[in-house]
């Protein structure tokens, strides 16, 4: 399949690795938290840092694309051959909020190496996985002796993924011409385990929202008024508690309408994975499983739609007691969706559900922070097969299949650009995405760069394979 010996790629990755790691550390020091308006300048700085670095890597075209929110970075390195396919790599340079006081062993924005792991907010999600592509393309060129990659290489690295990518669809639509490609490659997911490399075939979607509730115009004495007026903190609780029925199914009307159910083959493949529930619970830092009746844990997190209370707050939260009826409360909810669900209909149903579930006398405001669609690519797609071969060369092992429970704007690329979506991710479950002590396994960053280098070669050997077959775009 390939003329280049794997050792040439491996050597090139090894020789470039120290510099790669130094640069990644520098990028991780920028606290590009997209959810926090006070960090907007840092997200901007992060975009400009990446653009400069991509120019140094050799990309002839590098641009910072402004949005109505936070900026994305676009880069393009055309292939040498005219009939070579073009791949658009997607990732994000924004990160989740993090404070040392949340339980971090070291400052989340001062990358720290311990036992072969690099600890920092964004180490795995997603700066580490974006940045190995700079080493990947460098190694691809060095190993093959090329001056341009075997595929047309485009990068689109957005700055609002952790905020639900509110402006991403508009950005992709606005630049659809320049983003034209034969496949999109998402580097923002994970593998089963360091010793069990896998390729992901789909991601769940996300709808997240906040409900702000108001009762009394100010906190009032619970002895004088309690038990006679509506309490917004109890109302927030009423909503959160009503989300699931006794079978742990989401109660929002029509929530399960139209979903692409798991096939028997998929259920069998999932069941064959070396899943150790006790080990998984340790990774989840949890003591028990709880989820939708009739489905395994893997099915629940990969292929079933879910609802989660991300935050609830109202009334007195300081030390001791305070006998009040609180004036306000808030509830942050998010929903993971799967292929076939209609996100717009679910948002409308959610509006109706909130109105119908709340007690009278409590006023509310429902705000959607954004919605990300789910996506799914069939197991037998030729571009997916190329990716599986590239991963197999990097890991020297058979590659298995998973899905990703998390969400990303993969489906926007699939829907707007009309291309299949592939996933090249080397993060593992213990990396602690969104949690304190997020880290990345340093050796897997190396494997990621290798796999990318092989992938450009594999895809270049199959001129424009992706256009031969369109992905199954599931659902509406």
381/403 with CB nearer a second copy? 403
We find the least distance from the C-beta atom of residue 196 to a second copy, in angstroms, to be 16
Footprint of a second copy on 110-149 (CB under 8 A) = none
- The 3-state secondary structure of 446-470 reads HHHHHHHHHHHHHHHCCCCCHHHCC
What does the angle CA 293 – CA 295 – CA 301 come to, to the nearest 5 degrees? 110
Binding test (CB under 8 A) with a second copy, winner from 227, 247, 263, 396: 227
* Residue 327 contacts a second copy per CB under 8 A: yes
Under 8 Å between Cβ of 452 and 137: yes
81/107 with CB nearer a second copy? 107
**Measured CA distances, 269 to 65, 283, 298, 401 (Å):** 41, 22, 11, 8
* Residue 246 contacts a second copy per CB under 8 A: no
* Residue 366 contacts a second copy per CB under 8 A: no
We find the least distance from the C-beta atom of residue 405 to a second copy, in angstroms, to be 5
Footprint of a second copy on 47-76 (CB under 8 A) = none
Q: Which two tokens stand for residue 441?
A: 């396994």
d(CA 274, CA 449): 26
We find the least distance from the C-beta atom of residue 158 to a second copy, in angstroms, to be 16
Binding test (CB under 8 A) with a second copy, winner from 142, 194, 237, 273: 237
84/421 with CB nearer a second copy? 421
* Residue 290 contacts a second copy per CB under 8 A: yes
First CA to last CA distance, the chain: 38
Q: Which stretch binds a second copy (CB under 8 A): 78-86, 105-113, 301-309, 463-471?
A: 301-309
Footprint of a second copy on 171-200 (CB under 8 A) = 190
10 Å CB burial of residue 43 (0-12, 13-18, 19+) is buried
Q: CA torsion sign, 156 to 157 to 158 to 162?
A: positive
Under 8 Å between Cβ of 126 and 115: no
Footprint of a second copy on 397-416 (CB under 8 A) = 404-407
127-144 and 40-57 helices cross at what angle (nearest 10)? 10
The residue among 286, 29, 35 whose CA lies nearest residue 164 is 35
Binding test (CB under 8 A) with a second copy, winner from 265, 319, 380, 396: 319
Footprint of a second copy on 78-107 (CB under 8 A) = 96-97, 102-103
Beta bridge partners of 34: none
Q: Which two tokens stand for residue 455?
A: 């992938």
Binding test (CB under 8 A) with a second copy, winner from 243, 399, 419, 444: 243
* Residue 247 contacts a second copy per CB under 8 A: no
Q: Which two tokens stand for residue 451?
A: 């796999």
d(CA 382, CA 422): 11
We find the least distance from the C-beta atom of residue 224 to a second copy, in angstroms, to be 5
We find the least distance from the C-beta atom of residue 256 to a second copy, in angstroms, to be 13
Query: What would the x/- binding string for a second copy be over residues 198 to 217, using CB under 8 A?
Result: ------x-x-xxx----xxx
**Measured CA distances, 171 to 174, 377, 419 (Å):** 5, 23, 17
Beta bridge partners of 363: 214
We find the least distance from the C-beta atom of residue 177 to a second copy, in angstroms, to be 32
We find the least distance from the C-beta atom of residue 383 to a second copy, in angstroms, to be 24
Binding test (CB under 8 A) with a second copy, winner from 6, 11, 23, 219: 219
89/303 with CB nearer a second copy? 303
* Residue 228 contacts a second copy per CB under 8 A: yes
* Residue 360 contacts a second copy per CB under 8 A: yes
| Rg of the chain (C-alpha set) | 23
72/236 with CB nearer a second copy? 236
Contacts with a second copy by CB under 8 A: the residue count is: 102
Q: Which two tokens stand for residue 427?
A: 């993060």
Dihedral Cα 226, 230, 231, 235, nearest 10 deg: 150
Footprint of a second copy on 415-454 (CB under 8 A) = 429, 432-437
d(CA 308, CA 292): 12
């Amino acid at each position: 399949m390939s003329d280049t010996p794997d050792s040439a790629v491996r050597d090139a990755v090894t020789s470039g690795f120290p510099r790669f790691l130094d640069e990644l550390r520098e990028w991780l020091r920028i606290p590009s938290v997209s959810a926090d308006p006070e960090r907007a300048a840092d997200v901007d700085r992060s975009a400009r840092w990446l653009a400069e670095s991509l120019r140094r890597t050799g990309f002839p075209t590098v641009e910072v694309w402004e949005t109505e929110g936070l900026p994305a970075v676009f880069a393009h390195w055309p292939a040498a051959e005219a009939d070579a396919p073009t791949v658009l790599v997607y990732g994000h340079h924004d990160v989740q909020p993090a404070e040392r006081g949340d339980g971090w062993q070291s400052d989340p924005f001062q990358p720290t190496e311990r036992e072969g792991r690099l600890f920092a907010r964004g180490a795995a999600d997603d700066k580490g996985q974006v940045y190995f592509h700079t080493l990947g393309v460098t190694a691809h060129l060095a190993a093959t002796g090329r001056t341009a990659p075997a595929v047309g290489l485009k990068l689109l690295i957005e700055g609002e993924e952790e905020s639900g990518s509110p402006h991403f669809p508009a950005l992709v639509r606005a630049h659809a011409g320049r983003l034209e490609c034969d496949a999109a490659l998402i580097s923002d997911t994970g593998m089963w385990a360091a010793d069990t490399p896998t390729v992901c075939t789909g991601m769940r979607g996300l709808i997240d929202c906040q409900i702000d509730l108001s009762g009394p115009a100010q906190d009032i004495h619970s002895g004088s008024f309690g038990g006679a007026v509506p309490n917004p903190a109890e109302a927030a609780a009423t909503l959160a508690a009503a989300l699931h029925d006794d079978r742990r199914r989401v109660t929002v009307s029509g929530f399960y309408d139209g979903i692409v159910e798991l096939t028997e083959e998929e259920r069998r493949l999932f069941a064959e994975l070396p899943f150790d529930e006790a080990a998984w619970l340790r990774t989840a830092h949890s003591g028990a499983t709880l989820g939708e009746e009739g489905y395994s844990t893997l099915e629940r997190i990969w292929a079933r739609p879910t609802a989660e209370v991300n935050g609830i707050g109202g009334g007195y939260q300081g030390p001791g007691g305070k006998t009040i009826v609180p004036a306000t409360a808030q509830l942050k909810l998010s929903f993971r969706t799967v292929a076939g669900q209609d996100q717009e209909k679910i948002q409308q149903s959610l509006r109706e559900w909130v109105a119908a579930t709340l007690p009278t006398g409590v006023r509310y405001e429902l705000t959607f922070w954004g919605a990300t669609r789910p996506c799914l690519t069939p197991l037998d797609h030729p571009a997916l097969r190329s990716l599986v071969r590239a991963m197999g060369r990097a890991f020297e092992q058979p590659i298995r299949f998973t899905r990703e429970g998390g969400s990303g704007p993969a489906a926007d690329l699939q829907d707007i650009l009309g291309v299949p979506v592939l996933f090249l991710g080397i993060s593992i479950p213990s990396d602690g995405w969104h949690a304190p002590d997020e880290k990345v396994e340093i050796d897997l960053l190396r494997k990621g760069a290798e796999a990318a280098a092989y992938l450009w070669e594999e895809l270049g050997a199959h001129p424009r394979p992706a256009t031969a077959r369109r992905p199954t775009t599931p659902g509406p």
